[in-house]
Every structure is written in structure tokens, then in C-alpha cells.
Amino acid sequence: MAQRSGYILNEFDQILRARTINRSKYYIKRLVRALTETKTSSVNDLNLHRWKEYNDILTDSLWILEKRDTSGAHHGAYWGNFIPQIPHQLLRRYTKKGEWVLDAFLGSGTTLIESKRVGRNAVGIELLKKVAASAAKAIALEDNPYKTRTEIIIGDSSRVDMKTELLRRKIKSVQFLIMHPPYWDIVKFSKNKRDLSNAASLEEFLTLFGKIVDATYQVLDKSRYFALVIGDKYSGGSWIPLGFYTMQEVLKRRYSLKSIIIKNFDETKGKRNQKELWRYRAFVGGFYIFKHEYIFLFKKE
Ligand SMILES: C[S@@+](CC[C@H](N)C(=O)[O-])C[C@H]1O[C@@H](n2cnc3c(N)ncnc32)[C@H](O)[C@@H]1O
């Protein structure tokens, strides 16, 4: 509300400062239209007549998100989760209220919690039963002000028969796809062979990831968006650009690249305690310490 009154005051100010009558008439007409009409795009509910009100929605390709949102059911305890602001930003830009979102790597359920909060239905797939069960508990703790649905599928995202599983839940298709896969073997989520963090080689990791891109492609509506959140890794003294490798894997399919967002990377507790040591290692090894990850945005053709 404060944001809105600030916006209206700014518009009044602009009207008063206009140098010509015609210019002030133009500003008045624009304000009246912003307050009385709604114009949205086909992928979200943002009123384009009032775009100046959305100060909290990011439009730059560099995201510096200082503090994790820990409100509501977001406990932040799962090792390898992403911060809720990522799905929050993406859901508001790329979905409308009541639409369906698919997260192929559910983890602790961050996307599903955030979906409830912003009034989107969401389905998440998770390989590990225990992880899925604890996500379900956390998701249930979040209020459901818009009475939306959340569904969890336990299984390997590269093998789940997406169409059948969704239809079983009376979901015809989804309007937004989000993936936050393991960054290959940086965090080992389990000993399960189907777990992407256990892929024996980079090639195997990319093959499995590609299969998941194929499996999900069929259930995403045409002209809708897919966000891939991933970081790189070091191995044998070399930077392994997992981000660009996985991006290429997606671009082999019928997706076009809309944006590459660089997001600051939260230091893990371990690294925070060993800051000096890592700086020393960087000097010795001639490398830079990871401080960023990527959000690749694709559009289905
Ligand atoms: C990086 S985490 C996702 C974290 C999630 N975004 C969150 O905020 O909690 C990746 C998850 O993918 C799961 N996973 C790994 N391989 C999988 C596969 N083949 N199919 C489905 N889930 C898989 C892991 O168990 C892990 O929970």
C-alpha cells in the first residue's frame, strides 16, 4: 500500500512539474489509465500500466540477494536448497495466479512453499522418499491463502512418465518449469544411482540431466518459461562450467535462451569459517573463489 501511495505521489509530482499543458494532460491520462485499467502479458498478472509500482521485482541480470527469506515454512535447513527469493521472483514474472508450476528437483520444497504463498499450484518431483516426506511436512505448515494445490511425486525425474503422473492428479500441463539439480557431485544427496549427484562422469551427469529436460518438455505449455538454477564446480585444478554445459544441453532441445542471471552465492558455513584459508588457496592455485551461481531462463518454442 505504501508502495502504491508513493507511486501515486510521484505521478502527481510529475504532473505538477510538467512544462507544458499538453505534457501534464498526457501524465494525467496515463495516471487515470493506470488506476482504472489492467493490461497484463500472457505469462503473468503484472499490470503493465502500473509497472512503476513493482519496485520489488528484479529486471536486471545481476541479483544480489543478501538475506535468505526464513519466514513461514521456509526453514532453510536443507543442505543444497536455494533461497525462496529465487522462486518468488520467477513465479511472479512467469506465472499467473492459479497456474501450474513443475519443480523436477523438489528437495526441501522451497518452490512449493513459495507457490502456495503467491497463489500458484505446484507439483514437485523428488527421488528420495525421506527428503520428499520432510518437504511435505514443511509445505503443509505454510498457510494456503489462495487455496491452491501442491502435489509431490516420488521418483526419478528422468524416468517418471510425466503425462501419466500429472493426468493421474488431474493436471493437463504446466505453465512454468523450474529445475535446481545437484551441482553434479558437490553435495552428495544420497547413494542412489539415479541421483544426479552420483553420476560417474560429467557426460553421465549431462545425459541424465538431458533426459529430465526431455521428460518435462512434453508437459510444459508452448511459449512458456523454464528456469534452470545451477552453479559451477572445481575439479583437478580446473573450473568445470556446469552452468554452461547444462545450458547447452537445454538449447539442444526446442528452447530459446531468454536470460542468464548471475546471482551472488551464499557462503556455506564451512567456507565462512575458513575464509582466510580459501583466500590463501586462491592465491596459490591461481583461481577465484565461487561467489555466484546462474539462473538460466529459457522459453519453449
Ligand atoms: C539442489 S537440490 C534441490 C533443492 C531445492 N531447490 C530446495 O530448495 O530445497 C537437488 C535435489 O534433487 C534430488 N535429485 C537428485 N537426482 C534426482 C533425480 N534423478 N530425480 C529427482 N530428484 C533428484 C536430490 O535428492 C535433491 O533433493
Q: How far apart are CA 264 and CA 83, in angstroms?
A: 11
Q: Degrees (nearest 5) of the Cα angle 298, 299, 301?
A: 135
> For ligand 1, atom 1, which residue shows the shortest CA distance?
182
pLDDT (average), residues 177-184: 98
The pLDDT score that the predictor gives to residue 274 is 84
> Closest ligand 1 atom to the C-alpha of 160?
20
pLDDT (average), residues 141-169: 97
Q: What is the dihedral of CA 43, 166, 196, 128, to 10 degrees?
A: 120
* Residues making up the chain, counted from first to last: 301
1 pLDDT more than 60: no
The pLDDT score that the predictor gives to residue 108 is 96
> Closest ligand 1 atom to the C-alpha of 183?
1
Average pLDDT, the chain: 93
CB 123 within 8 A of CB 152: yes
HSE-CB at 222 with a 13 A cutoff on CA atoms is 1
DSSP sequence for 144-203: -TT---EEEEES-TTTS-HHHHHHHTT---EEEEEE----TTSS---S-TTSGGG-SSHH
Q: How far apart are CA 73 and CA 19, in angstroms?
A: 51
Write the CB contacts of 36 (distance below 8 Å, at least 6 apart in sequence). none
Pocket of ligand 1 (CB under 6 A): 78, 80-82, 105, 107-108, 110, 125-128, 131, 156-158, 180-182, 189, 194-196
Per residue in 55-108, pLDDT (tens digit) is 999 999 999 998 888 998 988 888 889 999 999 999 999 999 999 999 999 999
* CA 299 to ligand 1 centroid distance, Å: 22
268 pLDDT more than 80: no
More confident: 50 or 180: 180
The pLDDT score that the predictor gives to residue 219 is 98
> Closest ligand 1 atom to the C-alpha of 80?
1
Q: How confident is the model at residue 36 (pLDDT cuts 50, 70, 90)?
A: confident
pLDDT (average), residues 153-158: 98
DSSP state for residue 216 in the 8-state scheme: H
Q: Give me the percent of the chain exceeding a pLDDT of 70.
A: 96
More confident: 256 or 25: 256
